[in-house]
Structure 1
């Protein structure tokens, strides 16, 4: 069935019902676990699963407004059918793009059941079990570890080889091609790729690495995608991801990146990418991490030179000149990016070996509670941010990260979009010395159309110097 909506392309739906089973038994889901998911007391949990499932099935849709996605597919339904031999999912009004000749694409089916696995496990084993006090830093880190381990994302006895690639989903064709070339060079050097699993600069490195791995006859290349329920509709998993993990919130998603990754490459992006930059720099600037090796490279084609110049200016103006020692900028040279990262991972290997730290999970990295506890963007929370040059750099980075998190929510997340629609833009207050470079940076992102895929962007924030 094809549905046409106002000012939007026709929707192609499979009315169903269509039943889909996992390739093998989904051992984590017992009858008791499924019955609890379907219990009326867990209606919100099931709705979270329904929305994440729709996002996975809708892979390739160019809309990055999660509220718009859910409205377009408001008739989509998914049911869990229990059987003695396991479970099946029954779909009604599912996006037809997820199927070929009436059968669901295998990668999408894997992602669909990965979403179910992680949402059920997180709720029952992390949130409701009482085994973790999610107000304690150490318990938060342990929760991240258990979710990754349950998803089989932690591979022991393997030297450091996981490169986290961050960047925007709305990049130019030149930037996307460049990200593929970097991924290719990383793949030729036997390195694996972890991204936010979406399109654009999250897909390009995986695509390039797949070719590099093929040339080197590496048949077990890893393309790890890490998402969270609030962002997955705006950035649905791309088809190359062969291991998908859905963390419960953005903070645990970010911690998963830096715990499982051994180095980070940052491509051009929007406010979400800046949130990630401030997250990793806030951690690396913490005094406890001063000696810990963690290669961080900012890169893009020569055409992106002004973009990275603005990043460098913003970071030095807000966090101080010393921040420059924690990252390197490489423009227009994919081979150099890969060489720098390979050398950096060799240093990580030596350090982990010397300190007896695990290769597969960075236990020694100190992450302050300000980076771990969920920040729920609201008008009150955004107005209460402490944007002052009197703060130590790692603490100011945490506050700036929250500011960008709020803008991300207002741009693409259903709850944030609704809040701004009802109450107007978020107000961000702070010292003029901090807000001036922030204003320049945000203005550049708007001018470069990096805020949202829509033709016209109406700012969801207002900066108020104190």
Structure 2
């Protein structure tokens, strides 16, 4: 990737075409306020879409002179870029999808700051208040369609996977689209791009011109998972917990491809929610899948779930190896059950209000060394509560692997320490070691330096 730089002024897209004077002044003022650094870093990640960097710290240091500012105009605003990556431009003009994503960053970062986290309208200390906030962010981004039948499949998996695994994700996406299903991912490369890429062909073959390719990110992870070019709706949630809740509230089923610690975090989060007694009768199709070469990955995941969360958790998912058509068929069947359930219970098709998401999964977790060491990793609690703590452990490992703040904390204070029941700690260590051996903790070719160590009680 070239590190050549360019200065440019970008015209608005979408909802920024027509703004009031008040909105223009507010955007211009707040874009240089307390959220400026977040706005800048997310914008840089968008401009780096398709680049080779999966390290937030490396990206920020490489483009340390990059700057972005909101320029007011008579009817709207423009974005002024200085020292931006030239790879985001073609013949001096910014790529259309990247421009669209830049204004999505502006919309979400400023909106969340002024209307959600910086407002008294949402009680972010209550479970319902957090869910309402997630709903309002998604609605403001225009992701909802009241008349659209359930058809959104969330796809999780690693941003750095083998070419064989990537091709497999494309084939699954293709089979899903042939059955008129849409795709939602974390919006980055690898297993987040593949299903979307495959689905574009499937939708084209079915002459389905309304395919949805929803990407959901958050500021701390976006540098490692810059939005891919296929995403036609980008939403940036304020933190990882609201990002995960957005996935399970908007999606009608979830497919998990091979990944690393981040994918393990997503799996444990999902199973923890489904294990809550209030969700016992909630249909939610979940399928783990990959090519034959990825079978061992899911063996390790399955063993970990069995040893920590038990058989009830295992009953909430299927494992289908090397069969994209069967994955798509099973997902289509599961989503029909979701549709029937939503009809019977009167729940919305576009947002799963009746799904119980306990506060343990909603409150932001700060992966400091003290917080990581004090996680309750023992079985003397309900399975969904153990899942919540396991999810936090993996969240901290992801932070230490790829997030700028987490990388710096580990560099300063050494690896995070995880302590708990010997059986649970041993299971974590075995699974993470298998990820390292399979080169799933970092890009292949880079030496992995663990950001954690386990301490048995």
Selected match of 1:285 from 265, 275, 278 = 275
Contact 1:37 1:46 (C-alpha < 8 Å) held by counterparts: no
Unaligned runs of 5+ in 1: 1-8
**1:163-193, Cα deviation, whole Å (9 max, x unpaired):** 0000000100000000000000000000000
The answer for the alignment partner of 1:78 in structure 2 is 68
CA contact (8 A) 2:185 2:215 kept: yes
Match in the other structure for 1:109: 99
Q: Which runs of 5+ in 2 are unaligned?
A: none
Q: Does 1:13 align with 2:26?
A: no
- Return closer, same or farther for 1:121/1:78 CA change in 2, 3 Å cut-off: same
User: Given the superposition, is the C-alpha separation of residues 85 and 217 from structure 1 closer, same or farther in structure 2, using an over 3 Å criterion?
Assistant: same
Residue 41 of structure 1 and its aligned partner are, at CA, apart by 10
Measure, in 1, the Cα distance between the counterparts of 2:147 and 2:454: 49
How far apart are the structure 1 equivalents of 2:123 and 2:138? 18
5 Å matches for 1:129-208? 129-208=119-198
Q: Do the aligned partners of 1:389 and 1:433 also contact (CA within 8 Å) in 2?
A: no
Counterpart selection for 1:457 from 448, 451, 455: 448
* Corresponding position: 1:58 with 2:51: no
Aligned position for 1:395:
385
How many angstroms apart in 2 are the aligned matches of 1:80 and 1:253? Answer: 26
Asked whether the 8 Å contact 1:166–1:267 carries over to 2, the reply is yes
Distance in structure 2 (CA, Å) of the matches to 1:34 and 1:201: 38
* Correspondence list, 1:323-338, <5 A: 323-338=313-328
1:231 is displaced (CA, Å) by: 0.5
CA contact (8 A) 1:213 1:219 kept: yes
1 CA distance for matches of 2:313 and 2:278?
15
Contact persistence 1:58–1:98 (CA under 8 A): yes
Change (3 A) 1:423 1:363: same
**Is 2:429 the partner of 1:439?**
yes
Q: Is the 8 A contact 2:9 2:79 kept in 1?
A: yes
Equivalent pair of 2:13/2:103 in contact (CA under 8 Å): no
RMSD (CA atoms): 1.4
| 1:208-253 alpha-carbon deviations (Å, 9 max, x no partner) | 0110000000011000000000010110000000000000000000
Equivalent residue for 1:274?
264
Q: CA deviation at 1:452?
A: 1.5
Once the two structures are superposed, residues 106-146 of structure 1 have per-residue CA deviations (whole angstroms, 9 ceiling, x without a partner) of: 10000000010011111111112200010000010000000
Q: Report the Cα distance in structure 1 between the residues aligned to 2:432 and 2:296, rounded to whole angstroms.
A: 14
1:43 Cα offset (Å):
3.6
Q: How many residues align?
A: 456
Local SS of the residue matching 1:93: strand
1:87 aligned onto 2:68: no
Q: How big is the shift at 1:206?
A: 0.2
Contact 2:24–2:76 (CA under 8 A) maintained in structure 1: no
| Contact 1:268/1:300, CA 8 A, preserved across alignment | yes
Contact 2:21 2:75 survives alignment (8 Å): no
Question: Segments of 4+ in structure 1 off by > 3 A?
Answer: 27-44
Q: TM-score, normalised by structure 2?
A: 0.97
Q: TM-score by structure 1 length?
A: 0.96
Give the deviation of 1:29 after TM superposition. 6.0
Q: Equivalent residue of 1:407, what SS?
A: helix
Q: Residues 28 and 356 (structure 1 numbering): CA distance in 2 closer, same or farther, change over 3 Å?
A: farther
Whether the aligned pair in 1 keeps the contact of 2:216 and 2:236 (CA below 8 Å) is yes
Structure 2 Cα separation of the partners of residues 363 and 191 of structure 1? 21
Given that 2:18 and 2:76 are in contact with CA atoms closer than 8 Å, whether structure 1 keeps it comes out as no
- Which residue of the partner structure matches residue 316 of structure 1? 306
* 1:34 shift after superposition: 5.3
- Compared with structure 1, are the counterparts of its residues 31 and 405 closer, same or farther at alpha carbon in structure 2 (3 Å cutoff)? farther
Alpha-carbon spacing, 1:28–1:426, altered in 2? closer, same or farther (3 Å): farther
Distance 2:368 2:354 in 1: 33
1:347 corresponding residue in structure 2: 337
